[in-house]
Structure 1
């Protein structure tokens, strides 16, 4: 899953071709991040009600929130050492194959509802079944039991074409399609059930991000060296070179997913209040925009890759907390548990 990927901060590969190209790249990255969080939050509501998701949500506990930065650090350092010790070409090939297969599955899960709803609504609903068992008789155990229909096969074929495109060209559009799918599905399926756990997760990952970005060159090295879709990229020289541009600005998926999980929690909290107002969701959404904008500004002041989570965490935690203080709902916010049935707004 996308949570296994290293969480890279902002970085610019080379000086951009023009001020307009740089602005276009950053605006595009911000829009992709915002769309991922917005629709991921909506899908998390549907997932919590058991709709539009084939899997039940995975709730992140406070203990897991503390362990995630340790796991992420080991993964990040493993990527870094692999690039330094082994032939980089072989490592890139193995990682590309792994993320390509994973990306095809994630992208299929993402666009499957659209395929079912808009393109093949009148086709047969007959399902086939792929079943693998172990043993026989009463001791037989199901190892794989996957049901699919024609719509699923069409979806898989389409996304396999994207996978082939990615493997052959490593094109930035194919990279972003996989990256967006990783982000959406993670926001849909991984839930925080209370604000306290969310604060633990965000602040522990803030420490992780600051250390690996400012304390070492590991984060920036992995982000620039890796060609796998663990980040969103957009060319700063698109206006000069069109789709063959190669001077990229980038945003790590962790800088979308980690704050996004917290923002999705606030949407479910707003719905639980049953006031027909999504105050905390929109506040945290605006906070994310503010934090991302501040990251870009600071990056250009110091001309160095920044820890986006440093600014995003402070904004996404601070803004909703100030609103809760103003509305007198601090106790209600921290006592909320994500168990109330809800409807999609």
Structure 2
């Protein structure tokens, strides 16, 4: 069946059902040191620094930065309180460069510099990293700077003036707004399309039954290659969740190998998805309709029109360009385009048979999500969450591509200066596909029974968007990784049951297509016939 390879890849994609994380408040963060032009240098320079928000409160933007001169005190043992500063060293209202080789803590050095009238302490290190600190709140201007940056600053001559600042994000980051829009768009379009396809297949089946009993001609064309929904049981859903756990653990232990396998799978699946999503639009173009001879290969089979061949080249060319250029700063745009197409196509192809199966799947994956985010830190030797470690990529420089990613625009300057490669807000495909399967089912139910205004579909899309907002709020309040399905599932599943109970349709939705499968009417495993009308099929 055409949907089975897609289902296999969907298992991989749902591994990252939790991919949104924020750094802990007691971890060092990056800032910027800016030098002002002087008699020696006619232009300003910017350098990367590290600092703790619980220790230092730097300016939030370049305009509000306080600029002061600097002094070099690397030869002075700041930790020895019996040793006064050199007579030539001016400390008052200056930023002081001190060595990292002293025998006291960074806080003790900053405290003595401040007690002598210094404005701040800049600890010079060979490699830019900060020692561990507790999260006790202080009020020192303390930062860590790399030795190479210190040398360049002091080469600027006397009267070098510098300022320290760290850009702050708004309460409503633009990157999260974009991710919210992309996710809701993917769920809305994918579920709407899926419901239309399922309803069309349902009408085709009904027309087929009418044709057997009487000579009436069916207006809806028969589509023998697809079923209205997948024949799934509760046992198969449990097996699916167990398989996902196995795959996540495999990624945790063999990430450096499996990540390249998944990148390759994503390239193929997303290229096919772009083709499938754009084909209905391309088919409206009146030119380039010449056909090729019939062929049968793994990706496509049948005959292709010239316009389809051009679309095929464009679709897979897009995914190949992403693979080659995936580490470029702009590659997230391509990844999001491919990810949206992939999500929409999966929702179009994978159709769950009943509310019962939807409920078991969603609840099972919520438990899976919670366990691998919140419980595994108590089991692993390093106390880290398996889900979060896989999402971050561990020590590997490669990241799994099954996420929507948008850079945090407020920190682009810091990312460029400090060479930060993970300045992104992420949302895993699982957070789109799993709730999206429910939205797809309820939309098909809307069409089947003629629900006014597509009631179930609208309720679920609104619920999904609201659940995503609650997820973002939880990330901000709890300041750590959160299992998104913990918020998304209740905001979609519970309103579905409430509306169905009010309308008296819980039983009908609960059983869905189950009666058809139990009665043996499904022909999902029957041999496929030739392609009708010589058209090509993309096997995704």
TMscore range, shorter length:
0.7 to 0.9
2:273 is equivalent to residue 106 of structure 1:
yes
2:391 is equivalent to residue 231 of structure 1:
no
Alignment of 1:119-268 (within 5 A): 120-131=285-296, 145-170=301-326, 171-216=331-376, 217-225=385-393, 227-237=399-409, 240=412, 247-268=423-444
Q: Give me the whole-angstrom Cα distance separating, in 2, the residues matched to 1:184 and 1:55.
A: 20
Against the structure 1 CA distance between its residues 200 and 149, is the aligned structure 2 distance closer, same or farther, given a 3 Å change threshold?
A: same
Q: Give me the whole-angstrom Cα distance separating, in 1, the residues matched to 2:299 and 2:387.
A: 38
Alignment of 1:1-345 (within 5 A): 1=6, 2-5=9-12, 6-12=15-21, 18-20=168-170, 23-48=173-198, 49-50=200-201, 56-57=226-227, 59-62=230-233, 63-83=235-255, 88=256, 91-117=258-284, 120-131=285-296, 145-170=301-326, 171-216=331-376, 217-225=385-393, 227-237=399-409, 240=412, 247-337=423-513
Offset of residue 297 of structure 1 = 0.8
2:530 alignment counterpart: none
SS in 2 for 1:61: coil
Offset of residue 26 of structure 1 = 1.0
Q: Deviations over 1:159-178 (max 9, x none)?
A: 23312321222111121122
Offset of residue 327 of structure 1 = 3.1
Are the aligned partners of 2:22 and 2:475 in contact in 1 as well (CA < 8 Å)? no
Offset of residue 295 of structure 1 = 1.0
What TM-score do the two structures reach when normalised by structure 1?
0.83
Offset of residue 129 of structure 1 = 2.1
The aligned length equals 322
Offset of residue 20 of structure 1 = 3.8
1:138 alignment counterpart: none
What TM-score do the two structures reach when normalised by structure 2?
0.55
Gaps of 5+ in 1: 133-141, 340-345
Asked which structure has the greater RCO (Cα within 8 Å, sep 6+), the reply is: 1
Against the structure 1 CA distance between its residues 195 and 131, is the aligned structure 2 distance closer, same or farther, given a 3 Å change threshold?
A: closer
Against the structure 1 CA distance between its residues 334 and 20, is the aligned structure 2 distance closer, same or farther, given a 3 Å change threshold?
A: same
Against the structure 1 CA distance between its residues 328 and 126, is the aligned structure 2 distance closer, same or farther, given a 3 Å change threshold?
A: same
2:160 alignment counterpart: none
* Aligned alpha-carbon RMSD (Å): 3.0
Structure having the larger proportion of residues in helix: 1
Which of these two proteins has the greater Rg computed from alpha carbons? 2
Against the structure 1 CA distance between its residues 24 and 284, is the aligned structure 2 distance closer, same or farther, given a 3 Å change threshold?
A: same
Are the aligned partners of 2:415 and 2:423 in contact in 1 as well (CA < 8 Å)? no
Are the aligned partners of 1:206 and 1:310 in contact in 2 as well (CA < 8 Å)? yes
Against the structure 1 CA distance between its residues 328 and 160, is the aligned structure 2 distance closer, same or farther, given a 3 Å change threshold?
A: closer
Against the structure 1 CA distance between its residues 177 and 228, is the aligned structure 2 distance closer, same or farther, given a 3 Å change threshold?
A: farther
Q: Deviations over 1:211-245 (max 9, x none)?
A: 11112211111112152321111111267459988
Q: Give me the whole-angstrom Cα distance separating, in 2, the residues matched to 1:156 and 1:144.
A: 10
Q: Give me the whole-angstrom Cα distance separating, in 2, the residues matched to 1:106 and 1:243.
A: 32
Q: Give me the whole-angstrom Cα distance separating, in 2, the residues matched to 1:271 and 1:94.
A: 39
Are the aligned partners of 1:106 and 1:181 in contact in 2 as well (CA < 8 Å)? yes
Q: Give me the whole-angstrom Cα distance separating, in 1, the residues matched to 2:476 and 2:16.
A: 20
Q: Deviations over 1:268-292 (max 9, x none)?
A: 1111222433111111111111211
Are the aligned partners of 2:404 and 2:429 in contact in 1 as well (CA < 8 Å)? yes
Are the aligned partners of 1:17 and 1:237 in contact in 2 as well (CA < 8 Å)? no
Q: Give me the whole-angstrom Cα distance separating, in 2, the residues matched to 1:223 and 1:273.
A: 41
SS in 1 for 2:462: helix
Are the aligned partners of 1:8 and 1:255 in contact in 2 as well (CA < 8 Å)? yes
2:210 alignment counterpart: none
Against the structure 1 CA distance between its residues 243 and 260, is the aligned structure 2 distance closer, same or farther, given a 3 Å change threshold?
A: farther
Offset of residue 301 of structure 1 = 0.9
Q: Deviations over 1:10-52 (max 9, x none)?
A: 423657954249621111111111111111112213332248x
Larger displacement relative to structure 2 (219-228 or 26-35): 219-228
